[in-house]
């Protein structure tokens, strides 16, 4: 509920957020990308588009809660499939 959520549970991984920068990730201090990965390991989409979409869904969910609509599910529209960047 109100208060801090537990973070720091992924060894070596830091996910950060700044309101005007969006989500960022590092692994052991090195820049990393967020990705959507299927159970079989197929990378569906990765990079800044995934970070922006994840942030938008989280923000919209939070705003719904502030409007006393916290019980509603927030959905993203399907992301365009993008090949992983080297």
Residue 63 C-alpha from the chain's centroid:
16
pLDDT at residue number 76 = 76
Residue 70 — pLDDT band, cuts 50, 70, 90?
low
Contact 16, 29 (CB under 8 A): no
Tokens representing residue 26 in the block: 């590092």
Q: Give the whole-angstrom CA distance, residue 43 versus residue 79.
A: 12
Higher pLDDT, 31 or 82: 31
Three-state DSSP class for residue 58: helix
pLDDT at residue number 83 = 65
Residue 13 — pLDDT band, cuts 50, 70, 90?
very high
**Tens digits of residue pLDDT in 31-65:** 999 999 999 999 999 998 999 899 988 888 888 88
Q: Give the whole-angstrom CA distance, residue 34 versus residue 51.
A: 6
């Amino acid at each position: 509920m109100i208060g801090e959520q537990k973070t720091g549970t992924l060894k070596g991984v830091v996910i950060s957020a700044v309101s005007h920068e969006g989500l960022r990730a590092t692994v052991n201090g090195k820049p990393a990308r967020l990705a959507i990965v299927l159970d079989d390991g197929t990378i569906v989409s990765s990079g800044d588009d995934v970070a922006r979409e994840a942030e938008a869904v989280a923000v919209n969910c939070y705003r719904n809660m502030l409007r006393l609509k916290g019980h509603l599910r927030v959905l993203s529209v399907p992301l365009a499939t993008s090949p992983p960047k080297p």
